[in-house]
């Protein structure tokens, strides 16, 4: 077992997920209670074999920044510090950390010494930091650097301390898993084994928790809510009551797809709630992204309260929440709130339903793999995800009926052309954003001052990091031409080529 000390990184849980892939158990602790957790584990005869210090959003010198007891460093165990975790280790041990050389996104890492025994000594890693270690503590030496950061990877061989400024846990860091494996296996002495997702275990936990009560299950037609509903249905059968709220904010054909899923694939008494006008009323005059998300979340809860009153025998509300939703909504004590997901944040007491989220600790690629194991069709497992708030967060500014139709029309064009070019299945998501910015165009020899539409298309596995998709110019040209010709009041199309980090998947 390895101990992960959480300093609030968006990817702390992802470190544990990567170790889980290697068959390694993990325990989590905050910096403040890490020493106490270690004592407790030792007393129980389960002392960890190594420690990983996570990243975090703070600066080590700012007031109230997370810290840890020096006893952690004096434990004699191997320690790997990642980003903030490395900076904090350096500060405590007498090094110097400064606000310099900001790096967000992919950077080329060059190894001067192949400490991790990798097959390549030049490869891409993902960075997300504003501070860096400019003076090494005594006994450390650098063995890898980027174009800006000399001390991008360091080692103290005698103490078995390692520090990396990048994030090896994210999918887009090449050889990241290999580095974590080397630390766990070769430095800490962990035994590596293959991990397999087990739906039977999840189904059994649902059975034990729910008993003979009914579950109102929020479904959207997406892979997350479908897999969650399928697991719940396997556990409780006819006591599953799927509810689809037709907000009018989803892609064309979503209602029909939901009906197909819950009449053909999962035999259940589907309830479809028509609520288009209610959502438009709730969004009237709202322009702030967070307020939009909260208004949508509030209305969803109101609707489920109404449905819950119709089913007093129900004891649970099932949701397809996954871990990326949780962490972006400030899922740990020291994490930043990136955006408020409508399905995260708890339920009002008057709803009197317990939350049931069977895939809450999983990532998108794990959910898809679970869907395959459960026997769901590949086209359903691999369909592009769509946000719960729908087009509302792809329209910058107020959501009006006219702008909603513009967004839907542009979206249809993008999907048609990506599928025609054989690219739809090669990207994680592709969609338009009505930017709220306006530019001059010439249409029919006349001046037009109209809105700019941004095209967002990217590759990802687990939603935690992404790269923009390399779409051929001719496909981009076709999409652009069709949108400016077929969607009213659009002046031009731009292509968003920003990675995550620093950008998020959605604009709002």
pLDDT tens-digit series, residues 373-393: 999 999 999 999 898 899 999
pLDDT of residue 267: 86
- State the chain's mean pLDDT as an integer: 92
pLDDT tens-digit series, residues 95-104: 999 987 788 9
Q: In what order do the strands lie in the sheet with 122-129?
A: 26-30, 2-6, 50-53, 79-82, 161-164, 153-156, 141-145, 103-111, 122-129
| Fold of the domain spanning 2-187 | Rossmann fold (3.40.50)
The answer to whether the beta carbons of residues 87 and 60 sit under 8 Å apart is yes
Q: Which residues are catalytic?
A: 83, 167, 169
* Domains in the chain: boundaries: 2-187, 199-381, 400-496
Distances (CA, A) of 126 to 78, 83, 168, 176: 23, 11, 8, 10
Q: What pTM was estimated for this model as a whole? A: 0.81
pLDDT tens-digit series, residues 481-504: 999 999 999 999 999 999 998 898
* Domain formed by 400-496, architecture: 2-Layer Sandwich (3.30)
Q: What is the CATH class of 199-381?
A: alpha beta
pLDDT tens-digit series, residues 235-262: 999 999 999 999 999 998 999 999 999 9
**Residue 438 pLDDT > 90:** yes
**Residue 330 pLDDT > 70:** no
Same topology between domain 2-187 and domain 199-381 = yes
Higher pLDDT, 461 or 471: 471
- Reference 501, options 179, 180, 170, 174; nearest CA is 170
Question: How far is Cα 475 from Cα 460, in angstroms, rounded to an integer?
Answer: 20
**Residue 266 pLDDT > 50:** yes
pLDDT tens-digit series, residues 134-157: 999 999 999 999 999 999 999 999
């Amino acid at each position: 077992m390895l101990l992960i000390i959480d300093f609030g990184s968006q990817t702390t849980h992802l470190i544990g997920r990567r170790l889980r892939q290697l068959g390694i158990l993990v325990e989590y602790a905050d910096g403040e209670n890490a020493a106490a957790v270690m004592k407790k584990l030792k007393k129980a005869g389960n002392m960890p074999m190594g420690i990983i210090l996570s990243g975090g959003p703070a600066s080590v010198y700012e007031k109230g920044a997370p810290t840890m007891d020096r006893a952690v460093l004096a434990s004699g165990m191997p320690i790997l510090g990642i980003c903030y975790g490395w900076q904090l280790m350096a500060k405590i041990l007498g090094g110097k950390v400064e606000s310099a050389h900001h790096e967000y996104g992919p950077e080329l890492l060059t190894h001067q010494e192949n400490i991790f025994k990798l097959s390549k000594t030049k490869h891409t890693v993902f960075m997300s930091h504003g501070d860096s270690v400019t003076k090494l503590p005594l006994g450390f030496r650098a063995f890898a650097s980027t174009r800006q950061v000399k001390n991008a990877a360091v080692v103290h061989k005698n103490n078995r301390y390692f520090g990396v400024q990048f994030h090896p846990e994210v999918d887009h860091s090449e050889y990241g898993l290999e580095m974590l494996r080397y630390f766990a296996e070769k430095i800490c002495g962990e035994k590596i084994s293959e991990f397999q997702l087990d739906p039977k275990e999840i189904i059994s936990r649902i059975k034990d928790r729910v008993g003979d009560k009914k579950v109102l299950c929020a479904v959207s037609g997406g892979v997350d809510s479908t897999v969650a509903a399928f697991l719940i249905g396997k556990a409780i059968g006819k006591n599953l009551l799927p509810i689809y709220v037709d907000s009018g904010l989803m892609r064309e054909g979503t209602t029909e797809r939901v009906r197909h899923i819950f009449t053909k694939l999962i035999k259940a008494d589907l309830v479809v709630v028509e609520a288009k006008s209610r959502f438009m009323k709730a969004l009237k005059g709202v322009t702030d992204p967070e307020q939009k998300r909260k208004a949508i979340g509030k209305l969803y809860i109101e609707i489920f309260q109404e449905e819950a009153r119709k089913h007093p025998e129900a004891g649970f509300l099932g949701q397809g929440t996954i871990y990326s939703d949780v962490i972006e909504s400030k899922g740990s004590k020291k994490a930043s709130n990136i955006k408020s997901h409508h399905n995260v944040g708890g339920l009002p007491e008057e709803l009197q339903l317990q939350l049931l989220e069977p895939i809450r600790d999983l990532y998108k690629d794990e959910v898809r793999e679970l869907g395959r194991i459960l026997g769901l069709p590949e086209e359903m497992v691999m369909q592009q995800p769509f946000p719960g708030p729908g087009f509302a967060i792809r329209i910058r500014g107020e959501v009006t009926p006219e702008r909603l139709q513009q967004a839907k029309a542009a979206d249809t064009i993008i999907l048609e052309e990506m599928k025609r070019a054989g690219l739809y299945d090669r990207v994680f998501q592709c969609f338009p954003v009505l930017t709220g910015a306006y530019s001059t165009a010439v249409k029919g020899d006349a001046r037009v001052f109209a809105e700019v539409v941004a095209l967002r298309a990217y590759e990802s596995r687990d939603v935690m990091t992404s790269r923009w998709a390399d779409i051929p110019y001719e496909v981009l040209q076709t999409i652009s031409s069709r949108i400016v010709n077929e969607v009213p009041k659009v002046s031009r199309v731009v292509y968003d080529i920003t990675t995550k980090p620093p950008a998020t998947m959605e604009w709002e």
